[in-house]
Structure 1
Amino acid sequence: MGYKIAVVGATGNVGREMLNTLAERNFPAEEVFALASSRSIGRTISYGDDDLIVQDAARFDFAQIDIALFAAGSTTAKNLAPKVAEAGCVVIDNSSYWRMEPGIPLIVPEVNGEALAGYAKKNIIANPNCSTIQMVMALKPLHNLQPIKRVIVSTYQAVSGAGRAAMDELFNQTRGIYVNDLPTKEQFTKQIAFNVIPHIDEFMDDGATREEWKMTAETRKILDPDIAVHATCVRVPVFVGHSEAINIEFEMPVTVEEARKALKAFPGVSVVDYRRDEGYVTPHEVAGEDNVFISRIRKDPSIPNALSLWCVGDNLRKGAALNAVQIAELLVSDYLPKK
């Protein structure tokens, strides 16, 4: 006997990856339901060796479900998640809607798993932004060494973070350029093929984008409210895998050797850091990998007590689906009644 699980938004990039991850990790599920909008009803979708028939999320009876993994966007999270939670089902939501809501835990299990203890207040748990997740995985073991004062991060984010249509746009623009077709823009504000776009999500009054604000606010909620964070988020023509150049200022000195040792010992982090050609990790190499990879660890001589590093992760795995499934695993191991 196991838990009954629903994946809402099962036909999207992250929803599919959630189903794959549940199957790969042998999650103790008695039954898994694939749910989506009405236009996807009746489609089949893979779950391990089985095929699931997609059902209508709006008409589904969630009272029979223990955990619902949401990968359907903020509007669905806003309208449907509270109803699901009231039915007694625990919601783990991948959208941005609930992340900064008071009383809603924002969880990266390796970093602040203990914060899950408050989940029952609203029965909703938030999955952080993909770029925030991989950054706090790098910051946490270093913050344990010496308190971090300030972080400056530039991200290089894959198009899969914007959904399947964004991946199609990169593919079609790239192919079109080789046959002299003019690129069409639908998902991005500028041509994404052979280009980079310093604009993710909408602009705010201070000139930052919401993606940059998310990294700041979420890092403080997850890790430490006293850490100052300044982010520049850039979309790059990569299908899967976010990269980040992170500069970290500590209150006291931290050596490269101390940082490397702490990062190597932290669960979910791999260090590949050799000062030679190919001695670092790129997004192409991490597609399908669960860990966050760290390279290029070095001292920043321009200010006291600072290090720089390169951080890469699969944004659909640890940046979304895997982290949500790990939250579910922590729920069933430490909080929900055993089945």
Structure 2
Amino acid sequence: MNTSLNIAIAAEFSLTSKIVTYLEQTDLAIDQLSIADIYPFNEEQGIRFHHKNIAHQDFADIDWHNIHYLLFAGDIEKVNLLPQVAQAGCIVIDIKGICANLTDIPVVVPSVNEQQLSQLRTHNIVSLPDPQVTQAALALNPFKQNLNQVFITSLLPASYSSQEQVEQLVGQTAQLLNGIPLDEQQTRFAFNVLPQLKANLPLQLSKIFPQLGQAIFHQVQTPVFYGMAQTLTLQLDYMVDPTQIITEWQQHPLVKYYDQPLITPVTNGEMENDQAYCYLHISQLEQTDEQLTLWTVSDEQGFSQAQMAVELLISLNREEH
């Protein structure tokens, strides 16, 4: 494989834009970057890479033999596009984890279980897990040899579902603040919480931590636009020194730990708005007997999808060379 890379991105506009921003900050030798159209962009939604417009191509028209990596963020309905890509020798990075539940597809969180990239060549596809799992796995990594059971409560923003749901939340919030009632047939997102269900998250986490006894996810849709928060309760086989765990978090390039102040999805969005990189923010570590609780926050799209996809690409390229 040539050291100069040809890379394609298949994602909606917002995520594509964030991926390109992170790619610009890497040392990867990218010869060609293109957008494989699976979602329509508006006319004004042009994206530039190092000051040059990125060309769009119809997915079906691309010669995948000439593409080294596809960063793919399609939904499950588009999974049938992937076999032709992988069979042509192009490595697929499955950003949304739509292949993560398949038995022989490696599920990899950069810096946590990159050794599983050795399984890549079975199908030329590697999956990031669902953002809920990525966020939990990074926080849990220091406990992986000692973790018996974990309970995870995910507070999900509208952006976790789709940009369309963000726009619905914006519209409903404005409508209600102006005293205009919603249509009774509408699902109410504004000033409301709803149960959410995403299946197979424990399976994905077990592929990352095979030694984990049990993982239970509780998921709540919240009236927050962007940014996911989680509360994690850990049952350990034996207690550990919390200061040692905190030190490990503090030394991790993708993690920031805080005694104070409390970081929330809103304050995280304000803080990271002008920053080059996003992080997983951990705080509120509490210990009782053989149980630990902690609070985490991240930008689920900017961090768990865009930035982690680029981190995974860097790791893959390093393995290939």
TM-score by length of 2: 0.90
Partner of 1:266: 252
How many corresponding residue pairs?
312
Contact 2:101 2:200 survives alignment (8 Å): no
Q: Which of residues 226, 243, 246 is equivalent to 1:240?
A: 226
Instruction: Name the structure 1 match of 2:165.
Output: 166
Gaps of 5+ in 2: none
Q: Distance in 1 between matches of 2:258 and 2:108?
A: 26
Does the 8 Å contact 1:255/1:299 carry over to 2? Answer: no
Within 2, Cα distance between the matches of 1:333 and 1:38? 30
Stretches of 4+ moved more than 6 A in 1?
none
Report which stretch shifted further, 284-293 or 158-167.
284-293
Structure 1 residue aligned with 2:293 = 308
Q: Which deviates the most, 22-31 or 314-323?
A: 22-31
Do 1:8 and 1:34's aligned partners in 2 also have CA atoms closer than 8 Å?
yes
Who is 1:105 aligned against? 106
Shift of 1:7: 0.1
Which amino acid in the other structure matches residue 170 of structure 1? Answer: L
Q: CA deviation at 1:284?
A: 2.0
**What are the ranges of 5 or more consecutive residues in structure 1 without an aligned counterpart?**
200-208
3-state SS of 1:320 partner: helix
Aligned-partner Cα distance in 2 for 1:165–1:305:
43
User: Take 1:184 and 1:142, find their aligned partners in 2: how far apart are those partners?
Assistant: 48
In the alignment, is the contact (CA less than 8 A) between 2:64 and 2:88 conserved in 1?
yes
1:224 CA displacement: 2.5
For 2:140 and 2:68, the matched residues in 1 are separated by 33
1:12–1:163 Cα contact (<8 Å) kept = no
One-letter code aligned to 1:296: Q
Contact 1:104 1:125 in 2 (8 A): yes
Cα distance per residue 1:126-160 (max 9 Å; x no partner): 1110011011000001225xx10010111111111
- Mapped contact 2:144–2:212 kept (Cα < 8 A): no
Q: Deviations over 1:178-229 (max 9, x none)?
A: 222233599xx83111112122xxxxxxxxx3x2x43311111112243311
DSSP 3-state at the match of 1:109: coil
- The normalised TM-score by structure 1 is 0.86
Q: Decide whether the 8 Å contact of 1:151 with 1:229 is kept in 2.
A: yes
CA RMSD of aligned residues (A): 2.1
Distance 2:95 2:150 in 1: 24
**CA–CA separation in structure 2 for the residues paired with 1:266 and 1:39:** 37
Q: Using the TM superposition, give the Cα deviation of residue 331 of structure 1 relative to its aligned residue in structure 2, in angstroms.
A: 1.0
Give the conservation status (yes or no) of the 8 Å contact 1:250–1:306: yes
Note if contact 1:41-1:55 (Cα within 8 Å) is conserved in structure 2.
no
How far the C-alpha of 1:38 sits from its partner, in A, is 7.4
Alignment match of 1:291 (pick from 279, 283, 287): 279
Instruction: For residue 171 of structure 1, report the CA deviation from its aligned partner.
Output: 0.8
In the aligned structure 2, how far is the partner of 1:71 from the partner of 1:26? 23
Q: 1:74·1:95 contact (CA, 8 Å) conserved in 2?
A: no
Q: Percent identity?
A: 23
CA distance in structure 2 between the partners assigned to 1:86 and 1:183 by the alignment: 49
Task: Report if the CA contact (8 A) 1:45-1:51 is conserved.
Answer: yes
